């Protein structure tokens, strides 16, 4: 590893572990400002949408097929008020949830070659469905298909459509006509095909794995990656995936590092977009298990 790469890695680790927040806290914006920022974010995710503010924390959204929905932002604003420093993450999460799972008037053609696996927290599909129901969508159209990795993590399946991620429902997965076992195998192959070059950097007892800022957390599904040739650690592999774009690796026998590892995971989870979990996971017999304190 060259000096520049090591320097960058140390800066990233230091930023996660030791960054400080403004003790004064952010100024709370009003409901009109919150709605305006939300509308801008929604439009940036899908510029074909027509968006109109109808009342306080209430907007009308019309997609390119003419489907009209009324979206209520009360819960999103309440969440923001409780943690105002997370304004961008909260707005981003709610906006993406509408884009990623909103039912389409025109059915999307789903081919297995375009489906990829996505690792999320087990709370994600539940919270996503709840937020969409609150926004006016029908509950029976929002049953996302997912598989449990363990009691904390799940795998969802998604397709790219016009540069947008759309998670698949159980009905859509059934329409692929393949077994659940084959679904996992085929989608991992698809992920491997489109993965950028994986970068593995070492510093201070911790590996940082990079895969384009999109695929990092999903790499825990890639069995061929988890070898002693790639990660020269002592003991079983231990990982932190605090957000979609962060993957850190150490060994279970690096006991002096595990506590620091938990700090990295907690800070990454609280301060990064696309959060997943602050839990650590240990790999045993090809499975990822929650590492107990």
Digitized pLDDT (tens) for each residue of the chain, 293 residues in all? 444 344 445 545 554 444 444 445 678 999 999 999 999 999 998 888 999 999 998 898 888 878 788 888 887 888 888 888 888 888 887 888 777 666 554 455 688 998 999 999 998 888 777 766 666 666 555 678 999 999 999 999 998 655 567 889 888 999 999 999 999 999 999 999 988 889 998 877 789 999 988 889 999 999 999 999 999 999 999 999 999 899 999 999 998 889 888 998 988 888 777 889 999 999 999 999 999 98
What residue ranges do the domains of the chain occupy?
31-101, 112-193, 196-290
Residue entry with tokens 């709840």: 130
Say what the alpha-carbon torsion angle 215, 47, 123, 244 is, to the nearest 10 degrees.
Answer: 20
The answer for residues whose C-beta is within 8 angstroms of residue 274's C-beta and 6 or more apart is 243, 244, 245
What separation in angstroms does the CA of 161 have from each of 10, 119, 184, 225, 265?
A: 37, 19, 20, 28, 31
- Cα–Cα distance, 263 to 258 (Å, whole number): 9
Number of neighbouring beta carbons within 10 Å of residue 148: 10
């Amino acid at each position: 590893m060259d000096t520049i790469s090591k320097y960058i890695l140390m800066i990233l680790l230091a930023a996660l572990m030791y960054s400080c927040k403004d003790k004064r806290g952010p100024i709370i914006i009003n409901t009109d400002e919150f709605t305006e920022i939300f509308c801008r974010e929604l439009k940036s995710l899908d510029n074909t949408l027509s968006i109109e503010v109808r009342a306080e924390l209430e907007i009308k959204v019309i997609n390119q097929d003419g489907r009209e929905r009324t979206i209520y932002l009360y819960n999103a604003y309440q969440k923001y008020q409780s943690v105002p420093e997370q304004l961008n993450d909260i707005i981003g999460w709610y906006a993406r949830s509408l884009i990623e799972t909103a039912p389409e008037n025109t059915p999307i053609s789903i081919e297995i070659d375009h489906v990829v696996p996505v690792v999320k927290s087990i709370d994600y599909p539940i919270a996503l469905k709840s937020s969409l129901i609150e926004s006016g969508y029908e509950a029976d159209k929002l049953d996302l298909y997912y598989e449990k990795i363990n009691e904390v993590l799940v795998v969802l399946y998604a397709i790219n459509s016009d540069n947008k991620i759309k998670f698949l429902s159980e009905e859509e997965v059934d329409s692929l006509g393949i077994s659940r076992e084959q679904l996992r195998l085929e989608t991992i192959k698809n992920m491997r095909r489109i993965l950028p070059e994986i970068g593995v950097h070492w510093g201070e007892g911790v590996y940082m794995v990079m895969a384009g800022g999109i695929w990092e957390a999903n790499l825990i599904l890639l069995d061929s990656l988890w070898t002693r040739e790639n990660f020269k650690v002592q003991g079983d592999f231990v990982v932190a995936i605090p957000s979609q774009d962060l993957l850190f690796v150490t060994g279970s026998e690096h006991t002096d590092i595990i506590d620091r590892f938990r700090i990295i995971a907690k800070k990454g989870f609280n301060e990064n977009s696309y959060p997943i979990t602050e839990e650590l996971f240990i790999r045993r017999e090809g499975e990822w298990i929650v590492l107990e304190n």
